[in-house]
Amino acid sequence: MDHLRITVEGKVYDVIVEKIDSDSSTSPAASTTVVRSAAPASAPARAAAPAPAAKPVAAGAGDAPSPLAGIVQAIEAAIGAVVNEGDLVLTLEAMKMYTPINAPMSGTITAIHVKVGDAVEEGQILYTIG
């Protein structure tokens, strides 16, 4: 039997696994696997994930919410840039797919609430057009 420690989403599990040879008379249904949950505090130290960017509380008329959860890959417009409806403002990545975020209306970028590398949630305000 092997004793393994497995960490899943920050929770540590101590697992005892019995190895069954192909010529063994023991059926998989008869083998025993014991799972004990250890306290998350005993989990090995791991690098802290980057904190999500702060979300503005209320969406205004010029606020552009994120259509999906993802990571900001590129910001194509700067504060003060004049954009037309449909212009590329930034790019999000989710599940190895890139999603362009285009301006929903014409105007001037008055604020950008995220930076490259930020994790964003669906509905989080990305930038504001004034």
Of residues 65 and 8, the one with the higher pLDDT is 65
Shared-domain flag, residues 33 and 68: no
Query: Does residue 70 share a domain with residue 34?
Result: no
In total, how many domains does the chain have? 2
Q: Is the pTM higher than 0.85?
A: no
User: Per residue in 14-50, pLDDT tens?
Assistant: 778 777 766 655 555 444 555 555 555 454 555 555 5
Asked if residue 119 and residue 82 are part of one domain, the reply reads yes
Phi and psi, residue 41, nearest 5° = -65, -25
- Name the residue range of residue 72's domain: 63-129
Largest CA distance in the chain: 74
